[in-house]
Chains A and B, each alone.
Chain A
Amino acid sequence: SQQGEEDPQALSIQEGENATMNCSYKTSINNLQWYRQNSGRGLVHLILIRSNEREKHSGRLRVTLDTSKKSSSLLITASRAADTASYFCATVRTGGGNKLTFGTGTQLKVEL
């Protein structure tokens, strides 16, 4: 079963704008990860944030984690057409080994 929901399901923005995607989950976690998927192919790991962290940056990516609300957000700044893809959050549950439980995904389209 899916861990949670991602919001919005689809997002369309202009190149240069910022894109924000949200993820909610249901259980206690060790960490939360974000992945990108182009055209239904393999997943690319973007960033990992551990349960004791509140914010993390990597290049144009900024991730926040609020464990009290069981939610996370991914911000992509100064978006490019090449950022067009589906974005998934995935959690590693506390005591759940290291399997990933994915959300439902956000389809991002960045237009020129």
Chain B
Amino acid sequence: ETGVTQSPTHLIKTRGQQVTLRCSSQSGHNTVSWYQQALGQGPQFIFQYYREEENGRGNFPPRFSGLQFPNYSSELNVNALELDDSALYLCASSARLDPGGYTFGSGTRLTVV
């Protein structure tokens, strides 16, 4: 059984650019959630995908978007990057009907300069 893998591990982008982060969910998990964690803070929920559709969204602007693929892997896209987007982006997979059992990836550290 594989865990959640995220790529890349680190990324540096320039303000105004676009970025795509990737996540492969744990085997048997059909729901993927994305979180943003600023330095010194707890993770903040961005959105969740279930069966390739967005299923809940946090307080993030539309320039944060995502996709889920038939194999339950997922992408997080951020357009028009701002300096405040610098953070650790975490992906978590879970089984839809199980409110527990979240498995997190190691995250992607995004730095916007």
User: Residues of A at under 8 Å CB distance from B?
Assistant: 1-2, 30-31, 33, 35, 40-45, 48, 88, 90, 92, 97-105
Interface residue tally for chain B (C-beta within 8 Å): 32
Residues of B close to A103: CB separation below 8 A? 42
Interface set of B (CB-CB < 8 Å, partner A): 4, 31, 33, 35, 37, 39, 41-45, 48, 55-56, 58-59, 88, 90, 92, 94, 96, 98-107, 109
Residues of B within 8 A of A99 (CB): 33, 45, 48, 56, 58
Query: Which residues of the partner chain A approach B55 to less than 8 Å between Cβ atoms?
Result: 97
Sample of 8 further A-B pairs with CB below 8 A, known A35-B104, A42-B4, A101-B45: A40-B39, A44-B104, A45-B102, A98-B48, A98-B99, A100-B35, A100-B102, A102-B43
